[in-house]
């Protein structure tokens, strides 16, 4: 039996509307050795961008369902995603 899959473009099309599109990814991903106050400040800056993003929902769901290990996605930090149960991506 043949299963139907979504065209790859449809899987990623939400990214075209992302507030972070074209930004330096260093805001969203921790450099080696980053800890404490510096990490919290960077994560807060990323979450502020995500807070005004029209696709933060799809972005966060993507990170949860694909088990992204690093970075801030859809306003969720790495630690928050580890403690969150994956949600239905629809």
Q: What is the pLDDT of residues 54-69, one digit of tens each?
A: 999 999 999 998 899 9
**What is the arithmetic mean of pLDDT over 83-88?**
61
- pLDDT > 80? residue 39: yes
Check residue 90 and give its pLDDT: 46
Q: At what angle do helices 36-51 and 56-65 cross, to 10 degrees?
A: 130
pTM confidence score: 0.79
Predicted confidence at residue 12, as pLDDT, reads 77
How many C-beta neighbours within 10 Å does residue 59 have? 24
* Whether the Cβ atoms of residue 50 and residue 19 lie closer than 8 Å to each other: yes
Q: Do 73 and 59 form a contact (C-beta atoms < 8 A)?
A: yes
**42 against 86, higher pLDDT:** 42
| Overall size of the chain counted in residues | 90
């Amino acid at each position: 039996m043949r299963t139907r899959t979504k065209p790859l473009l449809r899987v990623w099309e939400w990214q075209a509307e992302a507030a972070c599109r074209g930004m330096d990814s260093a805001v969203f991903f921790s450099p080696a050795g980053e800890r404490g106050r510096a990490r919290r400040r960077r994560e807060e800056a990323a979450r502020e961008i995500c807070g005004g993003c029209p696709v933060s929902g799809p972005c966060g769901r993507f990170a949860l369902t694909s088990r992204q290990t690093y970075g801030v996605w859809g306003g969720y930090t790495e630690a928050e995603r580890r403690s969150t149960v994956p949600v239905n991506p629809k």
